[in-house]
Amino acid sequence: MSDPSAGAPPDDASPGGAGGPDDPLLAVEGLERHYPVREGFLRRRVGAVRAVDGVDFAVGRGETLGLVGESGCGKSTAAASVLGLEEPTGGSVRFDGREVTDLSGEALARFRRRTAMVFQDPNDSLDPRMTVGESAGEPLAVHGVGRERRRAAVADLFDRVGLARETLDRYPHELSGGQKQRVGLARALSLDPEFVVLDEPVSALDVSVQAEILALLADLGREFDLSVLLVSHDVSVVRAACDRVAVMYAGQLVERGATEAVLGAPQHPYTEALAAAVPTPDPRVDRSGATLSGDVPDAADPPDGCRFHPRCPAVLAPDGTDLTSEEYRAVLDFRAALDAGAVDPERVRGRAGGATAAVEDGDASGDGGTAGGGSTLRGALRAEYGLPAELGDEAAEETVAAAVGEAAAGETAAARERLAGAFSSVCERDDPAFRPTDAGHPAACHRHDG
């Protein structure tokens, strides 16, 4: 890996560049990739899946940038859009100062020669009817290199990636997963590219083989002076291989900076959760911060405001209340369960072993001892959805208690309407912008506003 500061833009700067030696090799700004959602006989467009929705990052010359996030967050789509394998629906991708989306003809062919991609599963990119030597030499064949020169060049590349030359004439089914991934690396390097995208390059491999491939990637990066975009869901892989990291969630970036700075002192709750989820053999390490509530949002219908707020353990409570983040998180979880139609008082009664009392007539508002009350159905509902026995804010407690009472009486629509109109946090209303943090790198979180 190179010096993180060499050729890399400041983490709080625009990734645009004019293509000079001090500018990033790749600059991505406002990148979007939306897929239309169509319905009906006439296939009319009724919406869009926002797989990538306004992403900015840059890759310096000789630098490795990690793009990390859960499966389905859009990172592979972003990587494919950078190379033109997916056509962006918005934004700018500049390579060595030139807009990639405007390239055609010979200029596009030159871009293809200067870039390459290694796919997650080598079985998807190796033709089972061809020897691996022939597959690795395909890019050379496309560019008119003769058979003998191709074979000599591929043999040399096999030496560099740690494959025996007799492997040239073997077929994919005769090789192990690690060997096939090395073939993919050899093919990607066959045209001596300047920029390589590695899409989950070790996720399909055993842990011991992963270490070998990561060490090989580091050696090849130095030998070929490569700029690399490494896509991974595995924080430990990014930490081992990348100079800088960009963290992606639900189609957007939430934090970026030098790898050790971001993973060592995360400034966004999602990054905190990713870092905390990395396994450790030390039983003394506190793992309580690794749990997230809720589900990843639907890319066709992302939530308003911060896309992470439905799961965020540090969501900001509404202005003017004395609720803690933990209390408001519980309120939002209960509201989400109501919205999803998942609040079933009879099921809760059954899980409580039948010890809960029926809600008395006129008590649906929550009056008459809703706080605590573990022997009441309302108390069981509060326990079921993580609501404290009593909230610290009196006005908020009154509203939530009334909603719990309505839910206990089976009036879930009324409970949902009551909560929907009572609370609103900035996290639910506004999309956060990237802002500087005390750790020295930017994050998109309302905790850093102002």
Share of the chain above pLDDT 90, in %: 71
Q: Which residues form the domain of 129? A: 4-276
Q: Which residue has the tokens 């509530």?
A: 293
**Residue 311 covered by a domain:** no
Same domain membership, residue 181 and residue 110: yes
Query: Which pLDDT belongs to residue 220?
Result: 93
Averaged pLDDT, 24-35: 97
Domain identity same for 196 and 97: yes
Q: How many domains does the chain have?
A: 2
Residue 299 forms part of a structural domain: no
The first and second tokens of residue 24, run together, are 């990033």
The three-class DSSP label of residue 327 is helix
- Per-residue model confidence as pLDDT tens digits over 320-372: 999 999 999 999 999 999 998 999 888 888 876 654 444 443 444 444 443 33
Q: Please check whether residues 24 and 165 belong to one and the same domain.
A: yes
* Residue 377 forms part of a structural domain: yes
Say how far apart CA 319 and CA 307 lie, in whole Å.
Answer: 19
Nearest CA to 168 among 152, 145, 185, 192? 152
Rounded to 10°, the helix 325-339/394-408 angle is 30
Pick the more confident residue, 15 or 421.
421
- 447 in any annotated domain: no
Query: In this structure, what token pair is assigned to residue 378?
Result: 């309302």
- Tell me, yes or no, whether 271 lies in a domain: yes
Q: Helix (H, G, I), strand (E, B), or coil: what is residue 79? A: helix
pLDDT at 166: 94
Element (H, E) at 32: strand 26-39
Q: What is the pLDDT of residue 420?
A: 87
Which domain CATH number covers 204? 3.40.50.300
pLDDT category of residue 108 using cuts at 50, 70 and 90: very high
User: In this structure, are 331 and 227 located in the same domain?
Assistant: no
Strands (E), 63-213: 64-68, 90-95, 98-99, 115-118, 195-199
Instruction: Give the number of other CB atoms < 10 A from CB of residue 386.
Output: 14
Lowest mean pLDDT among 205-209, 255-259, 288-292, 342-346: 288-292
Long-range contacts of range 375-379, CB-CB < 8 Å, 24 or more positions apart?
A: 376/408, 377/345, 377/348, 377/349, 377/352, 377/408, 378/404, 378/405, 378/408
CA dist., res. 65 & res. 73, Å (int): 17
Looking at the structure, do residues 61 and 172 belong to the same domain, yes or no? yes
What tens digit of pLDDT does each residue of 122-153 get?
887 889 999 999 999 999 998 888 999 999 99
pLDDT band of 391, cuts 50, 70, 90: very high
| Domain co-membership, 271 together with 401 | no
How far is residue 47's CA from residue 103's CA, in Å, rounded to a whole number?
A: 29
At 360 the pLDDT is: 43
**Nearest-5° angle of CA 4, CA 237, CA 172?**
120
In a domain, 445, yes or no: no
Q: Which residues contact 143 (CB under 8 A, 6 or more apart)?
A: 113, 191
Are both 197 and 69 inside the same structural domain? yes
How far does the chain reach from its first CA to its final CA, in angstroms? 35
pLDDT per residue as tens digits for the range 241-269: 999 999 999 999 999 999 999 999 999 99
